[in-house]
Structure 1
């Protein structure tokens, strides 16, 4: 019996010894990992991983094995013992992306300079704790299902250069504190449900400003954007008021889309001299005459569906796609525009639904197959019959009474 008890005791000792060895190994592993990555960052990555999952077909998290060095995980980039960049999800086009929610632990990655998340089905709100990332320069959380508002506390991200929250379901207004961020170069908040007015953005290095497809309202002050802006898109909102003084300041624009709003006032002639290829001001309430300063070299100009009036300037003859339809233009169509159309230098010339009285074109002239001309519903009988958009209607000529009333 004594021998059996001794053997039993030794068996218990062996089990205890093995347990202690296991504990020591775990402690040594934690010390090893801690030597590679800051423990706070290590625990933050664990929390982030628990809150997100691969969508079917995605294998992004397959390398996230916390028994190895997290700095070797896909999408994790370190400098010393700190995480400096976190790119969540497979960046290849067509990747299924991730699902889940954004854990507030992201805000504990104190050295993070870059945070991006690929398109997926992530829901919930934007963590307010991101405001703690004082070194953050690049933030792109787009094409998911993020809801709620943009935290006002993000106004503390004084080093942020790119803010891309596009294609989500964000609501509420744009915080004034975000507009005052001094280093912003790219603001991309398009395709959300943002409302309220647009605050002034004061960064002198702002280049791209895209807020299209929201529910923003109110007017823009002449100093709401800096002269450095090159790309400006505010289409599909509810914005009102004049923009002539603002546009006169933005002389570096190479893309401008203010369409589908309720802007009023005149369109400054200077805007047609800017180095852009696409100018879209259609479906607003702009009025007055269009008076370019020089020959217009913009390839596409769309000012349709406004209240513009006066004669059509011959300086538009070099525009390849010219949409002047559904306005109140009067007089004759300039001969220089007609000659360039017949020479196939103009692809689209839409003049329908105006009060034009004449066009110098031979009824037997052949419109190039590569060109589209629409003249119907003016104060003249179109000398040539050309296909027009269906929404132009079937009436070829405007009623005489309307023409007389407008002239009177």
Structure 2
């Protein structure tokens, strides 16, 4: 029978062999990271992490020579259903690390400030876990960071000003947290995606605006205020815009409707004034509902497939071109309820295409035809006469 001393020597030999294949500092850091995390039930990701073998062969560990350059903790390709535990600060010892991701799971606790020691880090994505506390201001030291995705966690506090100064950012995804305060300026001229929805941000947008390079901008479900026309007018590369469920004020810039946007979401704010696109609008979905917009409805909006103008202060008659588009099934959704519209040129006997949803109720006109409306439109068909007289006056 082998002596205990011989067994210890054998284990030591294996550890020395494994460490010889990987930088000793990286080897010890991986051991600490492993001790802080464990598999969720049904997951076997860490089954392959046997430190008597070369860690560069572990699931989710990628090396260049003797250094760890990428770490995908809980790689789903290795059968992971998620991890639990805390991220050990030793992760900051992986000085050659360029990519760090953590699979969705139940990892909790703070994001270690030691991550700011990873000067080579380009990609940081830890989403759909239970990380909490502040976003470390020291992340502003990661001057080469391109992607920052900490979405669907429980972070609180504000976005550190230093994070906004990172010059190489292309993607910032911090949605579905509990972040608050104002949105800092972002200086990166390569920033293409900024997703901050479902937080508690307040105040105006940064006075210097956001980079003109932004293509995807989502700020919905916050408490943001102030005008946006000056900022949005310069962001001509936008392909997606969602500012819904805030408290933005002022007018909607007319040139916004000519941007290559697939979906324009401005509903449930306090935008006011007329809506006057310069040309026919080719954006498939435009939602301007629940604002304070007024004036007549522009015929330039007739080419929108899904158009939500309900719960505003629009007046006048529905454009004839819009009626034509409804009857030809060119418009799939046209919600005009809860305005002060005075008429629509449509034959009461005409049949609305099955593929089209048209709602006209609670305006200043007798409805020429009955069409199904959403439940939130209420049961009243026509606005009280005194309201119409008062608004017209």
**TM-score (structure 2 length as normaliser):** 0.97
Q: 2:56: which partner in 1?
A: 71
Deviations 1:233-258 (A, max 9, x none): 00000000000011001100000000
Secondary structure in 2 aligned to 1:344?
A: coil
Whole-Å Cα distance in 1 between the matches of residues 388 and 362 of structure 2?
Answer: 10
Does residue 1:38 correspond to 2:2, yes or no? no
Q: In the alignment, does 2:87 pair up with 1:102?
A: yes
Give the match for residue 158 of structure 1.
143
CA distances 1:207-250 after superposition (whole Å, capped 9, x unpaired): 00000000010101352310000000000000000000110011
Number of residue equivalences: 392
CA distance in 1, matches of 2:370, 2:8: 89
Aligned counterparts of 2:129 and 2:7: Cα–Cα separation in 1 = 43
Measured in 2, the distance between the counterparts of 1:159 and 1:203 equals 11
Separation (CA, whole Å) in 1 of partners of 2:77 and 2:32: 25
Structure 1 CA distance, aligned partners of 2:73 and 2:183?
30
Paired position in structure 1 for 2:346: 361
1:58–1:90: 8 Å Cα contact kept in structure 2?
Answer: no
What secondary structure sits across from 2:203 in the alignment? strand
Aligned partners of 1:111, 1:34: CA distance in 2, in Å?
16
Partners of 1:58 and 1:238 lie apart in 2 by 39
Of the three residues 280, 284, 287, the one matched with 1:302 is 287
Match of 2:197 in 1: 212
Deviation at 1:30, TM superposition (A): 3.9
| Structure 2 Cα separation of the partners of residues 60 and 360 of structure 1 | 65
Assess if the C-alpha contact under 8 Å between 1:199 and 1:224 holds in 2.
Answer: no
Matched, 1:133 2:118: yes
The structure having more radius of gyration, on CA atoms, is: 1
For the pair 1:59 / 2:44, whether they are aligned, the reply is yes
What pairs with 1:259-278 in structure 2 (closer than 5 Å)? 259-278=244-263
Any idea what SS the aligned residue of 1:317 has?
helix
- 1:164, 1:145 → 2: CA distance? 14
Residue 370 of structure 2 corresponds to residue 385 of structure 1:
yes
CA distance in structure 2 between the aligned counterparts of 1:92 and 1:305, rounded to whole angstroms: 45
Question: Residue 329 of structure 1: which of 294, 297, 314 is its match?
Answer: 314
User: Which residue does the alignment assign to 2:96?
Assistant: 111
Which whole-Å CA distance do the structure 2 matches of 1:43 and 1:113 have between them?
A: 18
The partner residue of 2:226 within 234, 241, 244 is 241
Q: 2:76 aligns with which of 91, 112, 116?
A: 91
2:267 aligned to which of 268, 271, 282: 282
User: SS in structure 1 opposite 2:220?
Assistant: coil
Q: Corresponding residue for 1:187?
A: 172
**CA offset digits 1:313-345 (Å, max 9, x no partner):** 001111000000000000010000000100011
1:96 Cα deviation from its structure 2 partner: 2.2
CA shift, 1:35, in A, is 2.2
RMSD: 1.5
